[in-house]
Amino acid sequence: MLQPEVKDALIHVLGKAYIADTEEQRIAYSYDGTPGFSAEPDAVVRPGSTQDVQEVVKICRQYGVPIVPRGSGTNLCAGTTPTYGGVVMVFTRMKDILEVDQENLTMTVQPGVTTLEIVQRAEAEGLFYPPDPSSMKISTIGGNINENSGGLRGLKYGVTKDYVLGLEAVMSDGSCIRTGGKLAKDVAGYDFTKLLTGSEGTLGIVTEAVLKLVPPPPVKKTMLALYPSMEYAAASVSGIIASKIIPATLEFLDQPTMEAVEAYAQVGLPVEAGALLLIEQDGEEELVDRHMAQMKEVCEKNHAFSVKMAASAEEAAALTEARRSALTALARRRPTTMLEDATVPRSKIAEMVRFIEKTAAAHQVEICTFGHAGDGNLHPTCMTDVRDQEEMARVEAAFEDIFAEAVRLGGTITGEHGVGEMKSPYLAWKLGESGVVAMKAVKQALDPDNIMNPGKLFAGDTRNRVSLGGDR
Amino acid sequence: MSIQQDFQEHVDYEELMNCTRCGFCLPACPTYLHTDGNEASSPRGRIALMKAVADGRKEPDEEVEAQLQECLGCRACEPACPSGVPYGQLLEQARTVIEKHKKHSLPVKVLRGATFGWMFLSQKRMNRVHQMRRLYEKTPLQQLMRRTNAFALLPGEAAVMEKVIPKAVPASRIRSVPKQEKAETTEQINVAFFRGCLMSTMFAETNENTRYVLRRSGCNIVHPEAQECCGALHAHGGEEERAKALARQNIEAFEAVEADVIISNAGGCGAALKDYPFLLRDDPEFKERAKVFAEKSMDVSTLLDRLDLPPMQYDAEVVTYQPSCHLENVMKEKGHVESLLRGIEGVSYTAMPQKEQCCGSAGIYNLIQPKMAMRILDRKMKDVSLTRASVIITSNPGCLLQMKAGIEREGLSGEVRAEHIMDFTAEAIRRAEKEAATSV
């Protein structure tokens, strides 16, 4: 519970309607999209302006109350669970699109706007905002920025950080800074825009963002290739990139995922298929046609036994069905679905997928893998049950092996979900001890009282394992 | 048994655990959107509250009850859920437990007893209530009530609702439905007709039109006499035992007749019929029979979409469609009403934005949660106006009344009207027939 004087001070700033500490609210804001993690906040605050945020931060700093900024709570790294209590700050009152600037191709938004609203507004203005995390229908831009969310278009278009030009943020002392701007070039000092993007709310609270928009591609075409094995699919990926083509989408499903999809949706995947690639290209029609023809050739050369090109939007939708229903098909098998995002250089995809298969078998857990073949971002997905502690221990052991292997192959423990509380024990595996020390120094400098989303990124204890990355 | 124990025993904990809290249900939930994104007013939040009660973390107090009551039960969260959590069933289980332990005030007890325990339990009583309504309309009482604005004293939108319910047809027309009807064109299929307690009284004309469309589309119709109310209102209101009794009665009534399919013309009823296997899952005698019954059940629009239909035509009008949530989310029968509309010559169908969002009617929701219902409705009417449609088609009586109330509230009664898809289709067939007759 909040101390009475803290609560009174917050009521004084926000008004009674915008701070809630009922049991209902504390339960409803105790979790996010991450299985197995939850912690109740002492209260939920709903600021209506940057100034409100500043005042709340000052009060929290004075009394040492943790602040957890939260969008729609769809993240998969326990990034918004209030590990040490405190206040959850939600931005449902700060959800305006403030401006679309057609001359500078930017959109200025408040943190509570949903990704979908941004995409739709850009479209309505004849422009394009590419980042498309799979929760985009409800995820907020504030959450996307804090987690530096990715999506299906990462390979060609990049991720959230590539579209954040400037930020307004409230720092832990209650001051407000503005970084970057409507600028393609800006080297005035440290790049705080990039630093805050992906900082998981541990350095400051984003209260406004200037986003980059791009002209939309006029056409998009879709193709589906089926392979007897993952190795051939991976060879196609390498082949496509080697022929100097960067497709808009390059997604894969492994054999166990296809089996699950077929069992769930009967989309007509043949049993002999060992891997699937979904390939899309967008741009000027002539170029798209040429790329699609070239890519088809690469796929066939690499032993794809079926390559289908969609002739219409309906056909394209049918081809993407298997990929779209992957998560649903997997999620229905067991009570708990753990969706991870170990990422490797794209040249190592086949090797990594094979390793995951072996690891799952060795630990006797069910893991299917799908994901973004083009950028090496895999989604090994484990179907399990959080109530079964013995099985959960095996799941954790399997994922530890997977994280370690990803780092060994030159990859990372998380490509797009973030570290949060969940992966904090593994951060040092990727960064090395000195890497963690350097990051902690930044955290210490900007948030000396550790009130900004404490308990995230940095774990009390790193998992024991021979150091894998970072340290040289 | 304490309410806590009861909760643990009767709310399916396995299914509560199946919620992985991914949040994909949030954008589909009307109450989440209309509370400016209050997590506790979302399906994920309500499941978390139910789980907190089952875990002993929270008392099943007013807070929990208020959230369970605020839910429309539109079940739009179910198709959005990757894990396939049967949210609607969890909601009904939780409501049943809370209802069982609740001490209602005397007037509420009397009202609940009269509706759930008396009126909606028997078709005969429904008919009697209908006669009383007819009497009310035929005597100066209605005029008096309207002139004195007496309905304004009642809670919610009673005054608007009193205006928009259809005029009562003479009781003789309700009684005169034959046991069997022959197809009036080439025979295509044998259907058993689920008449529905409200559809056969308050909306008797819609039922007449439905039968006409079926006959003209090659359907032989049989009307099982012993059928009763589907039990939807009972199940949604936490009166599970009464819902079960009605389900058993209906299964027996339809087993007594020969038919290929069982047809209903109200999404709310159809969904209740489809849910019988769940409702009777612990009943060894009826479990399997309920499955057979549910598999045979479908909405009339779904059946018609499969049949060869007679010519249909209408004035050049723009129509839009407010789908019944239970037709789409529970029966999972989508797109057939739109397909029927596209088949009518002259009419141009325009989809309204966010049509999959509930209209706020939700059974008797608009009577018990009028504030939220009207907030949802006002938003809905904005979406309707974007289509510039002069007709709003519906596929469920609750939605129909709600749309009529919306038209009334917006002061559009001269320009826009709301119709049940079967009334509209029947009229289109009649017009085409008339046209054919005059052109010969």
Helix (H/G/I), strand (E/B), else coil: B152: helix
Helix (H/G/I), strand (E/B), else coil: A219: strand
Interface of B with A in 66-105 (CB under 8 A): 67, 82-84
In-domain check, residue B164: no
Q: Could you say which of B254, B274, B305 is where a domain stops?
A: B305
CB-based burial label for B186 (10 Å; 0-12, 13-18, 19+): exposed
Q: Which of A43, A112, A115, A35 is nearest to A78 (CA)?
A: A35
Cα–chain center distance at B370: 17
CB of A378 less than 8 A from some CB of B: no
Query: Hunting for tokens 């009344």 — which residue is that?
Result: B401
Q: Tell whether B388 and B295 lie within a shared domain.
A: no
Structure tokens at A464: 């024991």
Q: Where are the alpha helices (DSSP H) in A140-284?
A: 141-147, 154-157, 192-196, 230-242, 255-265
Q: pTM value?
A: 0.90
Sign, CA torsion A418/A424/A426/A428: positive
Q: Which residues contact B57 (CB under 8 A, 6 or more apart)?
A: A27
Cβ separation B49–A27 shorter than 8 A? yes
pLDDT range class, residue A8, cuts 50, 70, 90: very high
CA distance A461 to A426: 9
* pLDDT computed for residue B155 by the predictor: 61
DSSP B206-262: HHHHHHHHHHHTTEEEE--TT----SHHHHHTT-HHHHHHHHHHHHHHHHTS--SEE
Q: Which residues contact A18 (CB under 8 A, 6 or more apart)?
A: A45, A46, A47, A48, A93
- If one counts the domains in chain B, the total is 4
In-domain check, residue B261: yes
* pLDDT computed for residue B131 by the predictor: 82
CB of B18 less than 8 A from some CB of A: yes
Per-residue pLDDT, averaged over B340-346, amounts to 96
- pLDDT of residue A469 exceeding 70: no
In-domain check, residue B283: yes
In-domain check, residue B280: yes
Q: What residues in B contact A135, CB-CB < 8 Å?
A: 22-24
Task: Name the closest residue on chain A to residue B79, using Cα atoms.
Answer: A328
Q: Tell whether B203 and B80 lie within a shared domain.
A: no
CA distance A287 to A281: 9
In-domain check, residue B292: yes
pLDDT tens for each residue of B264-311: 999 999 999 999 999 999 999 999 999 999 999 999 999 999 999 999
Lowest mean pLDDT among A145-159, A316-330, B389-403: A316-330
Lowest mean pLDDT among A1-5, A224-228, A270-274, A361-365: A270-274
Sign, CA torsion A135/A95/A66/B31: negative
Cβ separation B67–A90 shorter than 8 A? no
Helix (H/G/I), strand (E/B), else coil: B291: helix
Q: What residues in B contact A144, CB-CB < 8 Å?
A: none
CA distance B359 to B355: 9
Q: Tell whether B214 and B242 lie within a shared domain.
A: yes
How distant, in Å, are the alpha carbons of A260, B63, B323 from that of B103? 48, 16, 36
Residue type present at position B302: T
Q: Tell whether B177 and B301 lie within a shared domain.
A: yes
First to last CA, chain A: 46
pLDDT tens for each residue of B297-308: 999 999 999 999
Residue B201 belongs to domain spanning: 173-305
Nearest to B39 among A28, A93, A336 (CB): A28
Cβ separation A335–B18 shorter than 8 A? yes
Cβ separation A93–B36 shorter than 8 A? yes
- pLDDT of residue B147 exceeding 70: yes
Q: Which residues of A395-407 are buried (b: 16+ CB within 10 A; e: fewer)?
A: bbebbbbbbbbbb
Cβ separation B20–A135 shorter than 8 A? no
Cβ separation B22–A137 shorter than 8 A? no
Cβ separation A74–B22 shorter than 8 A? yes
Output the domain CATH number for residue B43: 1.10.1060.10
Cα–chain center distance at B192: 19
Q: Where are the alpha helices (DSSP H) in A15-114?
A: 23-28, 50-63
Nearest to B63 among A24, A74, A328 (CB): A24
**The CA-based dihedral angle spanning residues A343, A345, A346, A352, taken in that order and rounded to the nearest 10 degrees:** -60
Helix (H/G/I), strand (E/B), else coil: B203: coil
- pLDDT of residue A444 exceeding 50: yes
Per-residue pLDDT, averaged over A30-45, amounts to 95
Residue type present at position A398: A
Helix (H/G/I), strand (E/B), else coil: B104: coil
* pLDDT computed for residue A472 by the predictor: 47
Q: Could you say which of B82, B100, B118 is where a domain stops?
A: B100
Q: Tell whether B186 and B270 lie within a shared domain.
A: yes
pLDDT range class, residue A355, cuts 50, 70, 90: very high
Cβ separation A28–B48 shorter than 8 A? yes
Q: Which of B120, B39, B54 is nearest to B93 (CA)?
A: B54
Cβ separation B83–A332 shorter than 8 A? yes
Task: Name the closest residue on chain B to residue A386, using Cα atoms.
Answer: B17
CA distance B104 to B94: 17
Cβ separation A27–B24 shorter than 8 A? no
Q: What residues in A contact B37, CB-CB < 8 Å?
A: 72, 90, 92, 112
- pLDDT of residue B387 exceeding 60: yes
Cβ separation B49–A28 shorter than 8 A? yes
Q: Tell whether B179 and B140 lie within a shared domain.
A: no
Q: What residues in A contact B45, CB-CB < 8 Å?
A: 28
Q: Are B191 and B221 in contact (CB under 8 A)?
A: yes
Nearest to B20 among A35, A72, A90 (CB): A35
pLDDT range class, residue B440, cuts 50, 70, 90: low
Cβ separation A138–B27 shorter than 8 A? yes
CA distance B241 to A424: 50
Cβ separation B26–A332 shorter than 8 A? no
Interface test with A, best of B55, B78, B83 (most A CBs within 10 A): B83
Q: Is the ipTM of this complex over 0.85?
A: yes
* pLDDT computed for residue B153 by the predictor: 66
Cβ separation B82–A28 shorter than 8 A? no
Interface of A with B in 294-313 (CB under 8 A): none
Q: What residues in A contact B39, CB-CB < 8 Å?
A: 28-29, 73, 90
Q: What residues in A contact B20, CB-CB < 8 Å?
A: 33, 35, 331, 335-337
**The CA-based dihedral angle spanning residues B417, B422, B423, B424, taken in that order and rounded to the nearest 10 degrees:** 60
Cβ separation B40–A28 shorter than 8 A? yes
Q: Could you say which of B305, B332, B365 is where a domain stops?
A: B305
**The CA-based dihedral angle spanning residues B24, B27, B29, B30, taken in that order and rounded to the nearest 10 degrees:** 180
Q: Which of A153, A182, A155, A151 is nearest to A166 (CA)?
A: A182
Q: What residues in A contact B38, CB-CB < 8 Å?
A: 28, 92
Q: Are B202 and B168 in contact (CB under 8 A)?
A: yes
- E-strand ranges in A150-239 read 164-171, 176-180, 204-212, 219-227
Nearest to A24 among B17, B36, B67 (CB): B67
Q: Which residues contact A343 (CB under 8 A, 6 or more apart)?
A: A375, A376, A377, A378, A406, A411, A412, A414, A415, A416
Q: Which residues of A91-123 are buried (b: 16+ CB within 10 A; e: fewer)?
A: bbbbbebeebeeebbbbbbbbbbbbbbbbebbe
Q: What is the mean pLDDT of chain A?
A: 94
Which bin fits B231, alpha (ψ -120 to 50), beta or left (φ > 0)? Answer: left
Per-residue pLDDT, averaged over B397-425, amounts to 93
pLDDT tens for each residue of A166-205: 999 999 999 999 999 999 999 999 999 999 999 999 999 9
Cβ separation A24–B82 shorter than 8 A? no
Helix (H/G/I), strand (E/B), else coil: B391: strand
CB of A66 less than 8 A from some CB of B: no
Per-residue pLDDT, averaged over B235-242, amounts to 86
Q: Tell whether B145 and B239 lie within a shared domain.
A: no
Query: Hunting for tokens 């049989």 — which residue is that?
Result: B222
Which domains does chain A possess?
A: 4-90 (3.30.43.10), 97-212 (3.30.465.10), 219-329 (3.30.70.3450), 334-446 (3.30.70.2740)
Q: Are A193 and A180 in contact (CB under 8 A)?
A: yes
Q: Tell whether B214 and B300 lie within a shared domain.
A: yes
In-domain check, residue B26: yes
Q: Tell whether B287 and B190 lie within a shared domain.
A: yes
Output the domain CATH number for residue B388: 3.40.50
Interface of A with B in 147-206 (CB under 8 A): none
CB of B55 less than 8 A from some CB of A: no
Q: How many Cβ pairs within 8 Å bridge chains A and B?
A: 86
CA distance A462 to A285: 51
* pLDDT computed for residue B112 by the predictor: 77
* pLDDT computed for residue A115 by the predictor: 97
> What's the angle, vertex CA B37, arms to CA B33 and CA B39, rounded to 5?
120
CA distance B255 to B277: 15
Q: Which residues contact A259 (CB under 8 A, 6 or more apart)?
A: none
Q: Tell whether B265 and B192 lie within a shared domain.
A: yes
CA distance B316 to B349: 10
Q: Which residues contact A115 (CB under 8 A, 6 or more apart)?
A: A131, A132, A133, A135, A136, A137, A139, A140, A141, A144, A149
CA distance A39 to A66: 13
In-domain check, residue B166: no
CA distance B414 to A12: 50
Task: Name the closest residue on chain A to residue B48, using Cα atoms.
Answer: A28
Q: What residues in B contact A138, CB-CB < 8 Å?
A: 23-24, 26-27
Query: Hunting for tokens 């120094």 — which residue is that?
Result: A441
In-domain check, residue B163: no
Q: Tell whether B263 and B230 lie within a shared domain.
A: yes
Per-residue pLDDT, averaged over A287-296, amounts to 97
Cβ separation A335–B27 shorter than 8 A? no
Q: Tell whether B420 and B319 lie within a shared domain.
A: yes
Cβ separation B38–A28 shorter than 8 A? yes
- For residue B417, the surrounding DSSP H or E stretch is strand B417-420
